[in-house]
Amino acid sequence: MHKTELRQAIRNSKRQHTAGELGAMSIAAANRVASHPRFLSAKTVMLYCSLADEVDTALLMAAGTGKTIVLPRVTGPATMELRLFTGPQSLAEGAFHIMEPTGPAFADYGKIDLAIIPGMAFDREGHRLGRGRGYYDRFLPLMPQAYKIGICFPFQLVDSVPTEPTDIAMDEVIWK
Ligand SMILES: Nc1nc2c(c(=O)[nH]1)N(C=O)[C@@H](CNc1ccc(C(=O)N[C@@H](CCC(=O)O)C(=O)O)cc1)CN2
Ligand SMILES: Nc1ncnc2c1ncn2[C@@H]1O[C@H](COP(=O)(O)OP(=O)(O)OP(=O)(O)O)[C@@H](O)[C@H]1O
């Protein structure tokens, strides 16, 4: 299946689940991450602020108290930056209606131990299908040392994600 068709198929599967079901699946996946040795040992974690159709990261932000948590902020049609997460009151709605950090900029990419990454679909080899703008594909090469965990709902784990040379693979995918 090509990228566009796969994105559409995933959107259709999402619609077959209630918000309550997605919430329960989010809690399962987030708990798995929160108890992961890489999360427990990480000092600096890149998270994302979830949209309604993504695995909810609120639990991870809470579990990350005591760690340095950084979040992406869209700065242009293909560019992002990172800012420190300094608490829920430091978030403001940004591009694509995503809640984004207003805290201090963070450019110490080499310090990021773990990156938790959303996607439309993943396969077991760690290939990722994003929302189709290449934000993460351009950004992740800045932090080659970071352990990359893709996180998704069970129906977003597919047999095979079509790949391009610029796609950055995950080290691990957590889907339940
Ligand atoms: N929570 C979250 N934050 C993120 C991402 C993400 O996928 N999820 N991104 C990962 O890249 C970056 C933002 N990229 C995004 C790209 C497209 C859409 C989006 O809503 N696209 C619509 C199509 C609307 C349009 O084309 O204007 C869609 O998918 O339905 C959202 C975020 C950075 N922050
Ligand atoms: N490192 C890169 N440099 C330049 N262009 C890139 C790079 N990575 C991806 N692109 C381009 O960006 C566009 C979107 O790529 P792709 O479909 O892989 O995005 P995605 O991973 O689904 O999106 P996102 O990361 O925003 O969730 C494609 O045209 C791709 O060729």
* Atom of ligand 1 lying closest to residue 54 CA: 1
| For the chain, counts of helices (H) and of strands (E) | 5, 11
- Answer whether residue 1 shows pLDDT above 90: no
Structural class in CATH, domain 3-174? alpha beta
DSSP per position, 28-51: HHHHHHHTSHHHHH-SEEE--PPP
Of all atoms in ligand 2, which is nearest to the CA of residue 141? 1
What pLDDT shows up at residue 147?
A: 98
CB atoms within 10 A of CB 149: 21
Calculate how far, in angstroms, residue 168's C-alpha sits from the geometric centre of ligand 2: 10
Enter the pTM of the model. Answer: 0.95
Q: Give the closest ligand to the alpha carbon of residue 57.
A: 1
Q: Was 140 annotated as part of a binding site?
A: no
Residue 29 CA to ligand 2 center (angstroms) comes to: 25
Give the residue among 142, 140, 118, 141 at the shortest CA–CA distance from 131.
Answer: 118
Task: Choose one of 4, 48, 131 to mutate for the ligand 1 pocket test, by most ligand atoms within 8 angstroms of C-beta.
Answer: 131
3-state class (DSSP) for residue 143: coil
Query: Which ipTM was obtained for this model?
Result: 0.90
**pLDDT tens digits along 67-93:** 999 999 999 999 999 999 999 999 999
Is 6 assigned to a binding site?
A: yes
Is 100 annotated in some ligand binding site? no
Nearest CA to ligand 1 atom 27: 96
Question: What is the average pLDDT score of the chain?
Answer: 96
Distance between the two ends of the chain, CA-based, in angstroms? 24
Residues 130-168 have pLDDT tens digits of 999 999 999 999 999 999 999 999 999 999 999 988 899
Listed by start position, the domains of the chain span 3-174
